[in-house]
Amino acid sequence: MDPEFIRPTRSLEGRVAVVSGAGAAGTGLGNGRACAILLAEAGARVICADISLPSATVTADMITTEFGPSRALAIQCDATSESSAAALATKTLEAFGRIDILVNVVGIAGAVGTVETVSMAEWAKGMEVNVGSMVVMGKACVPAMAKNEGQWRGSIVNLSSVAGLRGGTPSLLYPTSKGAIVNLTRAMAAHHAGQGIRVNCVCPGMVYTPMMSSPTSGPPMTPEAREIRKNRSLLKTEGNGWDVAAAVRFLAGDEARWMTGVILPVDAGATCATSTDVPGVGSGT
């Protein structure tokens, strides 16, 4: 066997991962919290970053309880603030000496309405949080990644949404901002490939997260609404943060070392078809 053909490993041992939006409501399982836990499970030391330090601390405590006291650190960070993100990077380097992985999870539903009704102030805020935060976090973390040794020096995974691929949601802001993340990812992949940094994107479908029942996100989702969402996919099952995090962990690690600029839907088949209940699909005809 060619000695250069090094078998990829699933282990993230020795890697340091920064997860923005690593908190969640209470002890619930949001996408960011699930990502932080699965990266730690694979061996990484994880910075749990969130604008809410108590929320980030819950995630870090979950990790240290299961995997050891030195495996996670909670840091308060406003991902839309360059100074806050820069301070996060500095604290990460002081604590763990390097940055290998950045997972950008921060996002909000944001402004409601169409072009006729949307508040431009809320629109600007939504774009700042959903898209600008990824630029800010990349600006803070890429220089440290570029200093790592080896052919593959860093990995960035951005979270978008199937709404960014298909649109079709009631409000203008959410699908627009999530669609921007898709091409942001492709641009970043091209810009940083020469530095040995891969950049990929995960587009979750209608997964159930604590945001669905948070009072700050509107009325809690009813069981009937959850059932309707579930049945919109081919698999007719409900996904959760673990499903999203498993895809993120794969893209973050060496098994995806030859993948960059990839846009990966995690949606139970929702983006390839709306249903198998149509003539000629799955019927053998």
Which residues form the catalytic set? Answer: 174
Chain centroid to Cα 168, Å, comes to 21
Q: Residue 258: which residues within 8 A CB-CB, separation 6 or more?
A: none
Provide the pLDDT for residue 280. Answer: 40
Number of helical H runs and strand E runs in the chain:
9, 7
Comparing 228 with 72, the larger pLDDT belongs to: 72
pTM equals 0.91
Closest C-alpha among 137, 246, 253, 114 to residue 184 = 137
pLDDT band at 72 (very low <50, low <70, confident <90, very high): very high
Average pLDDT score over residue span 158-183:
93
Q: What count of residues does the chain have?
A: 285
- How many CB atoms sit inside 10 A of residue 273's CB? 12
Indicate whether 203 pLDDT > 70. yes
What integer best gives the mean pLDDT of the chain?
Answer: 91
Buried b (16+ CB within 10 A) or exposed e, 142-162: bebbeebeeebbbbbbbbbbb
Of 5-14, 152-161, 243-252, where does mean pLDDT reach its minimum?
5-14
Per DSSP, 231 falls in state T
Indicate whether 260 pLDDT > 50. yes
Average pLDDT score over residue span 263-280:
74
Distances (CA, A) of 149 to 42, 46, 137, 162, 171: 21, 20, 21, 35, 44
Average pLDDT score over residue span 256-271:
95
Average pLDDT score over residue span 6-16:
94
Contact status, residue 211 vs residue 106, Cβ threshold 8 Å: no
Provide the pLDDT for residue 279. Answer: 41
Q: What share of the chain has pLDDT > 70, as a percent? A: 91
CATH code for the structural domain at 16-264: 3.40.50.720
Token pair 């040794």 in the structure block, residue: 149
Indicate whether 92 pLDDT > 80. yes
Comparing 213 with 175, the larger pLDDT belongs to: 175
Provide the pLDDT for residue 3. Answer: 58
CA atoms within 13 A on the CB side of 91: 17
